[in-house]
A = this chain, B = another copy of it.
């Protein structure tokens, strides 16, 4: 995925810049909002991957209210939120989590701590996407029903082709050598010829080609194969 975008909702410019600097150094993109109405705009136009939200904000609406509201709306329901607060009382923490924040950082906090929490949350939300049903490039693999669909048409695959596609679709945009594929799809300790992989790739491509999805499996000459939408 491209570099994640983080929305920083914080009214104090000094704090804002400090956070921004930290984020930039870690390779994140970021946008800011100084109050709740502005934050709402950024949510809509910038579509951030995570929100850092100050507990105390100017205006009628506190950060807490805003967080609660985000949870109510479909578009923002699954957005990870980290609350920033000067307070440290257990009660507040519980109230914060109660409202739907995913994590909680107490000021003053170290850049390292902030980044660790951001990273953890982004990882988690990424995992949440990793469902039983996964779709890429018009191809859908459902491991619960053990099915592959191109659009809405069923594709019949043999067991090995199914496992191969399942591995590919869960590990896109990366080259794997034939040996690596043997290890991870067939399992370790198999005494099978490298070239057998070619044949199974061929079979998989053949099954996908009527739907134009064979382009997803790409040959990287001298190295192996890659599964990618591009």
Q: Please give the residue numbers on chain A whose beta carbons come within 8 Å of chain B beta carbons, in ascending order.
A: 21, 25, 77-78, 80, 88, 90, 93-94, 97-98, 100, 102, 106, 108-113, 116, 120-121, 124-125, 127-128, 143-146, 154, 158-159, 166-167, 170, 173-175, 220-223, 226, 228, 230
**Contact, CB under 8 Å: A111 / B102:** yes
Known contacts A159-B221, A220-B146, A223-B146: A108-B120 contact under CB 8 Å: yes
**Contact, CB under 8 Å: B125 / A110:** yes
A-B contact pairs, 20 of them (CB 8 A): A77-B112, A80-B110, A88-B127, A90-B166, A90-B167, A94-B143, A97-B144, A100-B112, A108-B120, A108-B124, A110-B124, A112-B128, A113-B128, A145-B174, A145-B226, A145-B228, A146-B175, A146-B223, A158-B222, A159-B221
CB-CB nearest in chain B for A154: B230
**Contact, CB under 8 Å: A222 / B159:** yes
Q: Which B residues are in CB contact (< 8 Å) with A97? A: 21, 25, 111, 143-144
- Closest Cβ of chain B to A123, distance in Å, is 9
**Contact, CB under 8 Å: A144 / B124:** no
Known contacts A78-B112, A159-B222, A221-B158: A145-B124 contact under CB 8 Å: no
